[in-house]
């Protein structure tokens, strides 16, 4: 069949993906990308799996690029009152380009990962589509991948569920069979996101006031990097009704709180947009749009404002669109593209 370079984290998903590729007749090499010092233990776990199933394994040190394209922007975004999604940036700028580059250096035909997603075709172009296991589907994180990557990408787990994957791993006695599911942010362990950002902050913490929608001061906050739009827990504000973060004003350093019904928006603007065919759609298009990975998509009309900016108009109000998160466009199971939320109204 083909020579395949498989991205391996040492977890059950990529380990089982290796086995499925071997069963399909491919020649497989495992590769672990070291993005952060934390990932060195992942490399050791992946090597243990590779030894059991009998494939070569290598590591690729990506710490410099990861710092530049993911870690530094992650901290900067929080410092500026936004809520970034590091997985989107890592997939688009680091993980998949690095795998493809390494594959070329080894003479591999394809790359593969243990993501829950699939590759389909639309208008003659390869396109990401949703995985069979919708509860685990990760297509939301992959909208930045270009056609150069999609045309050579395999997702061995696309038609499987998590229980089926663990069953295969257990039957083969893989070391990763009982490993826990990966957490959302792979480079933060045993510390809160807010504490991580504070530990990496290059300047003073931007303190300020909590205020209500009329401008009344409700109390002091711990720094704008500790909060996100829609947040309720951890505010430390006494109120007769629950209050939520409505807006973070980076100029005044104030955080505006509101009641839940005031969190809903129908118009969302996104920038730095990417599209499945690599080009701007000619006309406004209808799509199901997800504003967070765990959020159910809403029906909307997407209208291009410029080459990389769009206006998303929802048919039903959406709760707490957060600047910095990704708005991702789908047509059924097909991933059409996405962009970074800039603001909403």
Give the CATH H-level superfamily of domain 204-258. Answer: Adenine nucleotide alpha hydrolases-like domains (2.30.30.280)
Q: How far is CA 253 from the centre of its chain?
A: 27
Q: Hey, where are the domains in the chain?
A: 3-172, 204-258, 264-344
- Give the integer Cα–Cα distance in Å for 123 and 121: 7
Percent of the chain topping pLDDT 70: 98
Task: Note if 108 is an active site residue.
Answer: no
How does pLDDT run across 232-248, given as a tens digit for each residue?
Answer: 999 999 888 999 999 99
What is this structure's pTM? Answer: 0.93
Does residue 193 have an active-site annotation? no
Q: How high is the pLDDT of residue 18?
A: 94
Query: SS3 of 11, please?
Result: coil
* pLDDT at residue 179, as a whole number: 72
The 3-class secondary structure across the chain, one letter per residue, is CCEEEEECCCCHHHHHHHHHHHHCCCEEEEEEEECCHHHHHHHHHHHHHHHHHCCCEEEEECHHHHHHHHHHHHHHHHHCCCCCCHHHHHHHHHHHHHHHHHHHHHCCCEEECCCCCEEEEECCEEEEECCCCCCCCCHHHHCCCCHHHHCCEECCCCCCCHHHHHHHHHHHCCCCCCCCCCCCCCCCCCCCHHHHHHHHCCCCCCCEEEECCCCCEEEEECCHHHCCCCCCCCCCCCCCCCCEEEEEECCCCEEEEECHHHHEEEEEEEEEEEECCCCCCCCCEEEEEECCCCCCCEEEEEEECCCCCEEEEEEEEEECCCCCCEEEEEECCEEEEEEEEEEEC
What is the tens place of the pLDDT at every residue in 39-81? 888 899 999 999 999 999 999 999 999 999 999 999 999 999 9
The architecture in CATH of the region 264-344 reads Beta Barrel (2.40)
- The residue ranking higher by pLDDT, 16 or 38, is 16
What is the rounded CA–CA span in Å between residue 337 and residue 328?
A: 6
CATH of domain 3-172: 3.40.50.620
pLDDT of residue 280: 76
- Name the active-site residue from 87, 110, 186, 273: 186
pLDDT per residue as tens digits for the range 23-48? 999 999 999 999 988 888 889 999 99
Q: What angle do CA 258, 259, 261 make, to 5 degrees?
A: 115
Whether 138 has a pLDDT exceeding 70, the answer reads yes
Instruction: Record the tokens describing residue 212, joined without a space.
Output: 């209500």
Note the pLDDT of residue 112.
Answer: 98
150-174 pLDDT, tens digit per residue, is 999 999 999 989 889 888 888 888 7
Q: What's the whole-number mean pLDDT along residues 248-272?
A: 96
For residue 213, the SS3 value is coil
Catalytic residue among 90, 108, 110, 273: 90
> Per residue in 108-128, pLDDT tens?
999 999 999 999 999 899 999
- Whether 189 shows a pLDDT value over 90: the answer reads no
CA–CA distance from 15 to each of 47, 101, 169, 215 (Å)?
A: 10, 21, 8, 54
């Amino acid at each position: 069949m083909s020579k395949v370079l498989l991205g391996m984290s040492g977890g059950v998903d990529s380990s089982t993906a290796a086995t499925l590729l071997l069963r399909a007749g491919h020649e497989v090499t495992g590769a672990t990308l070291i993005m952060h010092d934390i990932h060195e233990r992942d490399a050791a776990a992946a090597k243990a799996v590779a030894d059991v199933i009998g494939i070569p394994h290598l590591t690729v040190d990506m710490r410099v690029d990861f710092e530049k394209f993911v870690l530094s922007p992650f901290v900067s975004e929080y410092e500026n009152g936004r809520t970034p999604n590091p997985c989107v940036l890592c997939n688009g700028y680091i993980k998949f380009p690095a795998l493809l580059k390494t594959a070329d250096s080894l003479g591999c035909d394809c790359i593969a990962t243990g993501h829950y997603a699939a590759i389909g075709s639309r208008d003659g172009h390869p396109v990401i589509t949703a995985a069979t296991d919708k509860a685990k589907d990760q297509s939301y994180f992959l909208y930045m991948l270009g056609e150069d990557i999609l045309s050579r990408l395999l997702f061995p787990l696309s038609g499987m569920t998590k229980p089926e994957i663990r069953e295969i791993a257990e039957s083969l006695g893989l070391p990763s069979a009982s490993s826990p599911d990966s957490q959302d942010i792979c480079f933060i362990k045993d510390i809160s996101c807010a504490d991580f950002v504070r530990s990496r902050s290059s300047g003073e913490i931007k303190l300020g006031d909590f205020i209500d929608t009329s401008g009344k001061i409700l109390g002091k906050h711990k720094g704008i990097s500790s909060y996100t739009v829609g947040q309720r827990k951890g505010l430390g504000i006494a109120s007769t009704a629950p209050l939520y973060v409505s807006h973070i004003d980076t100029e005044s350093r104030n955080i505006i709180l509101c009641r839940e019904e005031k969190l809903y928006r129908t118009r969302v603007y996104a920038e730095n947009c990417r599209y499945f065919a690599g080009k701007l759609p000619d006309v406004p298009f209808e799509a199901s749009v997800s504003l967070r990975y765990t959020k159910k998509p809403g029906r909307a009309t997407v209208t291009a404002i410029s080459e990389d900016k769009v206006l998303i108009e929802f048919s039903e109000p959406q709760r707490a669109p957060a600047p910095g998160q990704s708005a991702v466009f789908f047509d059924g199971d097909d991933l059409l593209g996405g962009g970074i939320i800039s603001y909403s109204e």
